[in-house]
């Protein structure tokens, strides 16, 4: 327990007077005046140690907590000091008005835009052709084989006349490819044309006419068509070619002929690709027979007129009647009274 400072002074006073040579223990010398020191004793209530501690003193735990905080202050100050000081804006810079971003970007992009414009214009002008509907082909219902070894034999359908007829049909379904014959994607026919517009890469829009090719391709006159030619021709040129039908295509382009000049649109028209046809001659027929003998696989699809099995090619059926010798004739509904039916037949050739 700590004592007040005033009590400590009172306790030390007798020792101070005893040390003085002029002082005596029980009196004073004659002729000397007595000095009296009056001190005021202040009574202080006793309090706990923690309350008697100075207000500035803090508990040990707080002092320990403050130690690292005080140690961190220089580091924090250094970290704050590391930050680059922001430069104040100059008066001249603040006064200069900023131009809109759109104007600056437009000025920067002007040369690039000028360079890209012709390329974009070319891309827009380039026509695009995409397939829309494939060429029509006949689906065979019946199949048969034409054997060259049975040619002109008794009771055989392999006759010279039948071979010539089938070879004529073959010329509309095959094209010559150098030393052999190749199957065409569609019917082969002669096309008369007048060029209306050049689409590039030997592709043209033309006014064309072609005949009927069986049931696969109906005839047409002065119809817009897309042609792919072997050689380049000029706009306005007329001619005739043999081409294979490639089906219906969709053409997206900018027209340059009347009555749709200057319009950008999509049209769907028949397309023909120029090819080299098979000549209908004895030499070509002999070559065909030779290719079949060498193991070549060829077949043609034709529309044949065959006898009706319902009426046995009579065109009617018979129904007996009571009391009458003659039967009642009822027209055949299957063949509509003709006795013949149209059917699609695939004929394969074999040695």
Q: What is the C-alpha to C-alpha distance for residues 53 and 48, in angstroms, rounded to an integer?
A: 9
**H runs (alpha helix) in the chain:** 5-19, 49-52, 60-82, 91-95, 101-125, 160-170, 282-293
CA distances from 133 to 190, 248, 271, 289 (A): 21, 5, 10, 35
Q: What is the C-alpha to C-alpha distance for residues 107 and 113, in angstroms, rounded to an integer?
A: 10
For 137-162, how does the pLDDT look when each residue is reduced to its tens digit (9 = 90+)? 888 888 999 999 999 999 888 999 99
Each of the 351 residues of the chain gets a pLDDT tens digit; together they read 455 565 555 555 555 444 454 544 444 444 544 454 444 444 444 444 444 444 444 444 444 454 444 444 444 444 444 444 444 444 444 444 454 454 444 444 444 444 455 555 455 568 999 999 999 888 888 899 999 999 999 988 899 999 999 999 999 899 998 788 999 989 999 999 999 999 999 999 999 999 998 788 999 999 999 999 999 999 999 999 999 999 999 999 999 999 999 999 999 999 999 999 999 899 999 999 999 999 989 999 998 888 888 898 889 998 888 888 888 899 998 888 888 988 899 999 999
For 70-121, how does the pLDDT look when each residue is reduced to its tens digit (9 = 90+)? 444 444 444 444 444 444 444 444 444 454 454 444 444 444 444 455 555 4
State the burial class of residue 295 (Cβ atoms within 10 Å of its Cβ: 0-12, 13-18, 19+). Answer: exposed
pTM of the model: 0.58
For 127-139, how does the pLDDT look when each residue is reduced to its tens digit (9 = 90+)? 999 999 999 888 8
List the chain domain ranges: 5-61, 142-274, 288-350
* DSSP code at position 79: H
């Amino acid at each position: 327990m700590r004592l007040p400072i005033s009590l400590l002074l009172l306790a030390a006073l007798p020792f101070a007077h005893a040390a003085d040579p002029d002082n005596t223990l029980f009196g004073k010398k004659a002729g000397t005046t007595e000095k009296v020191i009056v001190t005021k004793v202040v009574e202080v209530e006793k309090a706990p140690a923690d309350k008697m501690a100075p207000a500035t003193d803090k508990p040990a735990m707080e002092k320990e907590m403050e130690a690292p905080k005080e140690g961190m202050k220089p580091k924090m100050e250094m970290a704050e000091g590391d930050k680059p000081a922001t430069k104040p804006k100059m008066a001249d810079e603040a006064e200069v008005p900023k131009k809109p971003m759109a104007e600056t970007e437009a000025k920067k992009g002007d040369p690039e835009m000028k360079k890209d414009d012709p390329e974009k214009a070319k891309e827009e002008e380039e026509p695009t052709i995409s397939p829309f509907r494939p060429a029509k082909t006949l689906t065979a219902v019946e199949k048969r084989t034409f054997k060259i070894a049975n040619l002109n034999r008794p009771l055989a359908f392999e006759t010279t006349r039948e071979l010539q007829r089938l070879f004529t049909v073959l010329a509309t379904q095959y094209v010559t490819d150098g030393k052999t014959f190749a199957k065409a994607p569609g019917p082969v026919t002669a096309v008369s044309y007048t060029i209306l517009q050049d689409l590039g890469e030997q592709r043209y829009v033309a006014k064309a006419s072609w005949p009927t090719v069986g049931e696969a391709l109906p005839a047409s006159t002065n119809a817009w068509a897309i042609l792919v030619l072997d050689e380049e021709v000029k706009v306005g040129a007329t001619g005739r070619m043999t081409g294979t039908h490639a089906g219906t295509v969709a053409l997206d382009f900018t027209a340059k002929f009347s009555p749709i000049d200057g319009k950008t649109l999509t049209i769907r028209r028949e397309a023909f690709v120029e090819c080299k046809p098979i000549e209908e001659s004895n030499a070509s027929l002999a070559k065909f027979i030779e290719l079949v003998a060498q193991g070549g696989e060829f077949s043609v699809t034709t529309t044949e007129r065959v006898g009706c099995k319902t009426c046995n090619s009579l065109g009617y059926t018979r129904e007996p009647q009571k009391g009458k010798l003659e039967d009642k004739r009822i027209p055949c509904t299957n063949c509509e009274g003709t006795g013949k039916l149209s059917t699609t037949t695939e004929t394969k050739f074999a040695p």
